[in-house]
Structure formats: C-alpha cells, structure tokens
Structure 1
Amino acid sequence: MDAELFYILVGSVVVAAISRWRGWPAPLVVTVAALAASFLPFVPDLDIDGHVLLNLVLPPLLYSAALDVSFVGFKRSLPQIQRLGIWLVLFTTLAVGLVAWLILPSLTLPGALLLGAIVAPPDAVSAAAIGRKLGLPRRIMNVLSGESLINDATSLTLYRVFALILAGTTVTIPNGVWQFVLAVVIGVAIGLVFGIGLHQLRMRIGDAVVIGTFGLLAPFGAYAIAEHLGGSGVLAVVAMGIYVGYNSPRTDYTTRQQEKPLWSSADLLLESFVFAYIGLQFPRVLNDLGSESVGQILWLSGTVLLVVLVVRPLYVFPANAWANRSDRRRLARVDRGIESGAFDQRRKKSRRWRKYSSEELRTQIVRERMAGLQLTWKDNAVISWAGMRGVVTLATALAAADLATGSSGSLSDTTLGAEASHAIVVVAFIVTVGTLLLQGMTLPLLIRRLGIASDSEQEEDAAALAAVQAKTREAGKEYLAAKRVEWESRHGSIDLSVFDAFAKRMTRVEKDADQAQQVEDAVARPSYEELAALSRGWLQVRREIVLAERDAGNLDEEVMRELLAAMDAEELALDTRGVIRQER
C-alpha cells in the first residue's frame, strides 16, 4: 500500500509538471491521465477512507488558497460570494435532492438531499488556474476564489444535518439553521484565535524554517479543533488563512520568501494526488454496482450532472439581476441625498468619509458596497460555467459510503442502504469527472469567445502604482532629510556629498538594489553598515506607504504583493552582501 501510494504520488506530480510546462490545465490532464491509467491491469487499486482524505487534504489546500485571497477584494465581493457560497449551495442541494428522489426513491428523501449536499459545492482550483492563465479580471477571480472558500462549509454543514437525519435524529428547520449559525460562529472564532496566535509567532520568531513548520501544522489543528467543538473546520481554516495572509506584509521578509514556494509545492502535490485519485477510483466505483441497477444509477448520474450544469446559470443570472436592481435603488438614494445636501452633511460627520468630496465618496461607495454593478453579463456567463467539482465532493461521497457500513462512528444506525450508498458514490464521481471535463475543457474557449480580459484593470493598476510610487518618493525625501541632519550631528564636518548622491539615486531609481555598495565603493565614510541601515530604513518607509494604501483601498492586494516581492528582493541582496563582507 505504501509503495502504491508513492507511485501514484510520483506519477500524478510528473503529469502535473508536464502539464504546467506545456501550459495545459493540470487538474484536467491529471484526471484524464489517471482515468486512462485505471484500465491498465498493473495500476494499483487505491482505497482511502473518505474522512481521512477530507481531514488530510482539505485543510492545507484551503489554507493555502486563503493566504492568497485579497481581503479587500473578498470584502468588496462579499454579496456575490454569499449568494454563491451559501444560497446557491442550498438551491443546488434542493434541486438535486428532489430530482434524485424522484428517479431513485430507494435513496429516501434525506438520502437524496445528502447526495445534493455532496455534489453542490464547486471546487475552484481548476477554475482559478484557468482564469489566472487566461487573464480573467480580478472582479471575477475574487468571486470564484471567495465562493470556493465558503461553499464547502455550507455543503459540509448540510451533509452533517442530513447524515444525522439518516441516523434517526430528529432535526427541525430551526435546529438546522441553529447548527449552521453555530458552525459559522465557532469556526470563525477558532480560526481567528489560530490566526492571531500564528501571526504573533511570525512577528516574534526570526527563524523562517520554524515558522514554516508551524504554518504547515496550524491548518490541521484549526480544522480538527473546530470540528470537535461543533464548528466548521472549513471556516476555521479560511478565517485563519485570510487573517495571516492579510497581515503577512508586516512580518519579516524571510518568512514570506520561504512561505510561498513551500505552499506552492504542497498545493502541487496535494492537488495532483486528489485529481489522480478521482480518475483512478472511477472504474472501481462502477464495478461495485450490481448489474441490475447499473442502468438506473447511470441514468440518475447523467440527470444529476445535467441538473448541476443547468442550475448554476439559472441561479446566477436572476440573482445578479435582482442584486443589481437593489444596488441601483441604493445608488439612486445616494444621488438624491447628494442633490439635497443631506448626504453631504452625513459625510462631514463621518471620520472615515470626510476626506472625500461627495462625488469621490459616491465612487468609493460603488466600489466598496455595490461591486455587483461591475459584473457584466459576460462576467456572469463565466461565473455560471466555472462550476467544476473536486476534492470536497469526492471525499464526502466516500465518507457517505461509510454510512452504510457503520464505520463512521455515531452514524452506524443509519437507514442508508448499501445500494443507496453505492449510488451516491457513483453519482458523485460522475458529476465530478463530468464537470471537470465538460466545463474545464470548454471554459477557456468561452472566455476567449466572450473576449473577457483584464486590460482595464491593468490600466487602473498602473495608475495606482504610479500614485504609490510618487508617495513613496515624497516620504523617502522626508526620511532622507531627517537622516542627513542626524548624520551631520553624529559625524560633524565629514563630506556628505556621497550621502546626497545616495539620496538622489534612491528617490529616482527605486529598483536599484546595489546602491549601498556603490556608495561605499566611492568613499569610506559613512560606513557600509550605516549605508545599509539607511537602505533598510528606506525600504521600511516604502513598505509602510504601500500597506497604508492597501488598507485605504487605493491599491489592490495583488499589486501590493508584487511591490513587496521587489522590496524583499532588495533586502535579501543587502543581507547577502553583508554576509559576504563578513566572510572576507
């Protein structure tokens, strides 16, 4: 078993690496390759418990995704994310459950709804990969990424409720709502506790290896403790990841530089294995069916796949239209308030908004609170077709199979029979593979045909970047002027012309990482250590300006991360040069 697992891991990573090298969507290629390999006689039959798969794979994948989420973008897109991550999951669960119950009454209504909860949440791993490759605008990527972070929590909470019903527990609608609220509150609270604790460690411990190790362990701890206390482990990991990711720019640069390749490698390994496992298990799942019920279950699987494909666009377009209508009404009230002067009076009383003019504030409100108005029908077409299923659907389906065998602890007295559990697993596998192939292979074509690109965002980013660089130059001049006075008082009458040249170079060319060495080569005084400290102070001033602009919503988080990466490289060059000098 250990050797077989190792071979599958290596094989899936090799296929994923080739896909990345060729520019192909790795999840789709790995799934297809594994599906083809599963029919070969020498390929091992790998069987992993669904609960184990869910507990070992989901926390690190969620945490890694949450680290890269733009908190500002997440907050702006929260209305769409809530509609997709909560209400669309409920809508899909009900639609699939009713259809499945009508086609296969032996599932029972709770069992059919359990199936609906299993296939409801899309996995945006492949959708996000395709979107980044094709340059989807951030307004779409924020929605897809945010949806994938919270829809799993909704789905797993529904799964827990329907599993309890199958086990004979009486669960009312208020009871179910209370369980969901409790899961959200406990999950978010545990996640924030872990996030704050991990952030404090990152601020106080200078060893990037130790911090990276704690970062690897923390998602499993947050997930397990939240689930043990009746909360949502998914939301615990997501809350922790968003908090740590948002505050990551305040930690030491070595932590950031070690963290990114670490999680990129973990993502590649786990995602490759999961999608390979999906493909490898499909033939075995079909073989587990009895010959008498194969036709009926395949008919059920095809129908559920069709329902899953159709329900999403049927929900996305009307829900977005309704939300836009509400946003336009709110915007009309703002405009009437501006015309009457009442809005201006409220603006002046607000500490947050008084710095804006009325028209600037209107633009800010649209950007922060009415992000739905920015989505066009083309954007919604892409969102409605980016519904590929993945690891959560697979793992919960395998866990549901345990309900019939009694291997899931307290749910051993379930009314879910063996045939029904096999049907759920087959349907989940067909829906997962079908959406990965149908939607995953056609999504790039849809994006190209609709002509959706991020050109306008690139222009906005360039303008925001220019504004930030202008502010950093001004702040740098003030910093250097203060330092010049300090150096004059410390060194007396030494020649500070080199300092002036340094200051001129620093305020003119921000990407020159070799300036301290150039200055030191020109004159022995001031010392190299002082010039290096001056460089680090200048970098810190720039970081503070960039973070302030991010916090104010004037700079997108992705642009901020690119700027910080360049600054981190400059600081690394300074430290490396200092080490070389000490060794000489």
Structure 2
Amino acid sequence: MEATFQIFLILLAALAGTALLARRIDVAPAILLLLAGIALAFVPGMPTVELSPKLVLLLFLPPLIYSASVAMSWREFKANLRPIILLSVGCVIFTACAVATATHYLIGLPWGIGFLLGAIVAPPDVVAPLAIARKLGMPRRILVVLEGEGLANDATALILYRFAVVAITTGLFSLPKAEGTFAAIVVCEILFGLAVGWLSLHARHHARDPQVEITLSLLTPYLAYWVPEHLGGSGVIATVACGLYISWNGPLLISSATRLQGIFFWDLMIYLVEGLLFLLTGFQMRLLYEKSKAFPLQEILITTALVAVIIIVARFAWVYPATYLPRLLSKRVRERDPAPSWRATFVVGFTGVRGAVSLAAALALPFTLPGGEPFPYRDMILFVAFGVILITLVGLGLGLPTVVRWLDVAKDGRSEHLAEHEAELAARREALDAALKSLDAITDDRELSDEVVKLLRARHENRTSQIPSSLDPAAHDITEAGAELTRELITTERKFIHILLRDGKITDETRRRIERDLDLEEASLSNREYRKIAL
C-alpha cells in the first residue's frame, strides 16, 4: 500500500512538472505526459505499473465522456449530427475493416484477429488535438465535429470489439444479428441516458446544497455508464445522452453556488484523470518491452508501422468522400450546408490520434479461450496498439500546429470569433436592458424606497459600463489597461485585509468572506477580458 501511494505521488509530481514544461515549450500536454510515462517506466528501481483495463473503462472513461458531453452544446451537436455520425460510426467501421483487410492479405492474420485489432485502434482520441485546435483558434465547427466524434466513436469501437471477441472465442458470427444488436444498444442506451440525466437534474434541484449536488453530479456518469456496460452495451452512448441532456436543461435547474463550485471541481478532476491516464499509458512501455522479447521484434515493428499507416490513410480516404459526396448527391444537403474548404477537411483528417481507450481495450482481452488455449496474438495486439498510440500521438500531435499554420485554417476562424464576440457584447447589453425594464416595472408595482431603487440602478449602470463599446484595438487597449489596474487594486485590498487580520482587527471568518468577494470579482474580471483579435 505504501509503495502504491509513493507511485501515486510520483505520478502527481510528474503530471505537474510536465504540464509546466508543456506550457513553456508550447506543446500539447498529452504528448509530453506519454513520453514522461515512458521515461519514468525505465527509471532504475521504478516498479512495473500495469494499467488495469477496468480502471480505464469503468473508472476513468465515464467522467471524461460525461464532462465533455456537458460542455458540448446540444444545439451545435444536433446541427452537426451528420458529420459526427459519419466520423464516429462510419469512419470507425471503415477503419476497422481496412485494418482487417490489410493485415489479412499483407501479414496473414486471421480475419477475426485483424478485425479485432482494427476495432481496437479505430477510435481516435481527441484530447490532444482539441487542446491544440482551441489554442490555434480554429473555426468553431471543426472543434464541434471533432469533439462530437470523440464522444461517440468509443461506443462504436467498443461494440465492434465485443462482437470480434465473441466471434473469436465462440467461432460464431452473424452480420444481421450483429446489426440488430447494434441498433438495439444505441436506442436503449439513448433512452437510459436521458432518464439518468432527468433523474440527476431533478435530484440535484431538490437537494439545494452545493456539496450534495456536486456529489450527485459525480455519481451521474457512473450510473449512466455502468448499468448499460454491465448489461452488454458500451455505456458510452448512455453517458453522452445523459451529458447532453444536462447541458441543455441544467442552466435553469442548477444553482449559481453549485455551478461555481462544480466548475472548479470538474476542471480539476478532468485535469488529473486525463494527465494520469496518459502517464499510465506511457508506463506500459516497460511491460510491453519485456513481453516483446518472446517473439520476433522485426515482425512486431512491421505490423505496427503497417497498422499506423493504414489507420492514417483510411481516415483521409473516408473524410473527403464523407464530406463532399453527400453534397454532390443531395441538393438539399448542398443548399442547407455548403461544402467546407479542402483545408478544413484536411485538418479533420489529420487529427486521427489514438489514445488510452485503445490500449485499455487491448489489455482487456482474455488470456485464454474457453477451451483453455492462449488467446491468439494477444501480446502482438497489445504491442501494436501501444505503438499506434505512440506514433499517432507524437507524430500527428506534434505535426498538427504546423499543418494548421501551413494551411492557414485559423484565418477562417478569426472572422467567426469576431462575430461571436460581437454577438456576446450585444447579448450582454440586451440582457441588461431587459433587467432595467424589469426594474422599472417592479418600481411601478411595488413600494420601494428611493435608496433601494438608487442602489439597484447604480449596480445596473456599473455593470453596463464594464461592457466594451466595441471590439476595435483602441477600445481593447483601454479595457485591458483598466483590467490590469483593477487587479492591482484588488491586490492592494488583499494585502490590507491581511494586515488587519495580523493586527487582530478582524477574524479569520471575516477575512475569508472578504477574500471570497475579491476572488469572485477577479474571476469575473478575467471572464470579461477580451483578447485583441487580428482583423
């Protein structure tokens, strides 16, 4: 137990140090975390840490999927449902079939093993690509499509994975039966996820206690995931449906106190889960290196390189026809949704980074068949899955910023971001105008003292004055200068409050209340800041 705790502390220290280094050299943290995990695994005296597939699939995956689903806009998800389904279902199945065909004819793997390997390496992980894409200011639609794909593609891959394992262990497979089972799983999980989302929201609304509500929010993804997974489904679709339901219906049912505390809690939790997951994935390199000595290394390397090339090429081979063919065949689609540029499509194709879910699926393979024979090609599948993760995460992850800059895709997003900020300013002004009209109506209907009305109007005018009049560079500079000065004043207040506490003029409880107000003011200030947008 003590050794386990020491390893956990080492991982936390590595997570914090690697995150700081990633920020300093401007590289996606996931890439450095994977490499750091590999380096730590070979440190003399470091015990072998084997990543449990149940830890990933049952403990890490539900909150990751749920958090991303809650952060996703249901309206944007629905508006981009066609490309999301084409990628998360069509591209995953196409990639799995491509890997099965290539490994069967070029290497001689049995069809079942090839399809199983394809199902394991088919789903891309979007953590690293999305982190890079957001930082580069890419168009919103690319981000929505990639995030939507990342939410649903694990479900498709895990269902295919189950079919392949059953076919290998029993020797039986029926395509019509598999299609019917797939459709039933999708429908049932969506209904179950919506029910869990409704139950969670109403339970949290009636609790009216931030600590209880956050605890219930933590239980929600596990309830949505574990029940379908235990019954033979994937659990992913139910968790996505639950998160999207809460994303759309939660704002009016979740209190402000819960929202403020919950954002911090979930941000920290996802940061730790994602970081530890990539570190632990890197740690598997030592275990795989020891296992690779049992069979020809050259064969493993060739298979890994072949599979990596196949999944990269297969994604491009799917993305371009899936993007432009529906528009060529359907005038309705063409008019409703004009074709994106080939540059944006190329970026979507380039984001085929694989992650820890692929490794967890490989680790979850049984060691033996029902008859007692060893599961065929298990160690090779495990090594290839890790190799594909390493190649795509480091290769594609490091190359993505260069590709985005080379294609100048961010240029397409600049005008979009400008329009979004203009709409935000307009929404803020209109909301304040609506509040002012409501204040006028309340003043007429109720007997309010002049002091109360004067205080409310002063608050309203203060909030109105904090909204920039425009987004031109001069106005931005004034706003930025005011924000910096306000921060300096807040710092002065904090120092003075500390002096009063030290001199015994106020209690610690008083100091905490004042500090909370100052913290909220500074957080609100950061939220109101507007970056200078290159026009």
- Is the shorter-chain TM-score for this pair beyond 0.5, marking a shared fold? yes
| Cα shift at 1:291 | 4.8
- Structure 2 Cα separation of the partners of residues 230 and 384 of structure 1: 31
2:398 aligned with 1:395: no
2:362 aligned with 1:404: no
Unaligned runs of 5+ in 1: 333-365, 407-411, 514-567, 574-584
SS of the aligned residue for 2:364 comes to helix
CA distance 1:21–1:302, shift in 2 (3 Å): closer
The amino acid across from 1:426 in the alignment is F
2:411 aligned with 1:446: no
1:225 counterpart (224, 227, 244) = 227
The amino acid across from 1:376 in the alignment is S
Q: % of aligned pairs identical? A: 32
| Cα shift at 1:508 | 7.2
| Cα shift at 1:73 | 1.2
- Structure 1 Cα separation of the partners of residues 34 and 51 of structure 2: 17
Matched with 1:425 is 382
CA distance 1:458–1:48, shift in 2 (3 Å): closer
- The one-character-per-residue Cα deviations of 1:244-273 (angstroms, maximum 9, x if unpaired) are 122232121111111111111111111111
Comparing 17-26 and 226-235, the one that deviates more:
17-26
The amino acid across from 1:422 in the alignment is D
- The one-character-per-residue Cα deviations of 1:514-545 (angstroms, maximum 9, x if unpaired) are xxxxxxxxxxxxxxxxxxxxxxxxxxxxxxxx
- The one-character-per-residue Cα deviations of 1:25-62 (angstroms, maximum 9, x if unpaired) are 11001111222232222222111332333211111111
| Cα shift at 1:512 | 6.4
CA contact (8 A) 2:56 2:357 kept: no
- Structure 1 Cα separation of the partners of residues 105 and 135 of structure 2: 41
The amino acid across from 1:499 in the alignment is V
- The one-character-per-residue Cα deviations of 1:472-504 (angstroms, maximum 9, x if unpaired) are 2442232112111123xx35xx6x387267437
SS of the aligned residue for 1:121 comes to coil
- Structure 1 Cα separation of the partners of residues 334 and 53 of structure 2: 48
| Cα shift at 1:239 | 1.1
The amino acid across from 1:14 in the alignment is A
Matched with 2:505 is none
- The one-character-per-residue Cα deviations of 1:442-500 (angstroms, maximum 9, x if unpaired) are 0011111111222111222133224423432442232112111123xx35xx6x38726
2:263 aligned with 1:260: yes
- Structure 1 Cα separation of the partners of residues 333 and 311 of structure 2: 33
CA distance 1:414–1:508, shift in 2 (3 Å): farther
Matched with 1:375 is 340
CA contact (8 A) 1:13 1:268 kept: no
- The one-character-per-residue Cα deviations of 1:328-349 (angstroms, maximum 9, x if unpaired) are 45556xxxxxxxxxxxxxxxxx
CA contact (8 A) 2:327 2:333 kept: no
Matched with 1:480 is 439
Comparing 265-274 and 224-233, the one that deviates more:
224-233
CA contact (8 A) 2:89 2:153 kept: yes
SS of the aligned residue for 2:27 comes to coil
CA contact (8 A) 1:404 1:414 kept: no
The amino acid across from 2:135 in the alignment is K
For residues 109-258 of structure 1, the aligned pairs below 5 Å read 109-168=111-170, 170-250=172-252, 251-258=254-261
Matched with 1:576 is none
- Structure 2 Cα separation of the partners of residues 158 and 216 of structure 1: 28
TM-score (norm 2): 0.82
- Structure 2 Cα separation of the partners of residues 485 and 303 of structure 1: 76
- Structure 2 Cα separation of the partners of residues 222 and 414 of structure 1: 34
2:477 aligned with 1:510: no
CA contact (8 A) 1:185 1:231 kept: no
2:318 aligned with 1:315: yes
RMSD in angstroms over aligned alpha carbons? 2.5
- Structure 2 Cα separation of the partners of residues 67 and 157 of structure 1: 23
SS of the aligned residue for 1:150 comes to helix
Structure 1 segments (4+ residues) deviating >6 Å: none
- Structure 1 Cα separation of the partners of residues 414 and 267 of structure 2: 27
CA contact (8 A) 1:97 1:113 kept: yes
1:465 counterpart (397, 420, 424) = 424
CA contact (8 A) 2:31 2:397 kept: yes
CA distance 1:505–1:168, shift in 2 (3 Å): closer
Length, aligned pairs only = 467
SS of the aligned residue for 1:75 comes to helix
Unaligned runs of 5+ in 2: 468-518, 525-535
CA contact (8 A) 2:70 2:244 kept: yes
CA distance 1:422–1:292, shift in 2 (3 Å): closer
| Cα shift at 1:99 | 1.4
SS of the aligned residue for 1:288 comes to helix
- Structure 2 Cα separation of the partners of residues 30 and 192 of structure 1: 35
CA distance 1:414–1:130, shift in 2 (3 Å): farther
2:299 aligned with 1:296: yes
Matched with 1:30 is 33
| Cα shift at 1:232 | 2.8
1:269 counterpart (253, 262, 272) = 272
SS of the aligned residue for 2:353 comes to coil
CA distance 1:194–1:413, shift in 2 (3 Å): farther
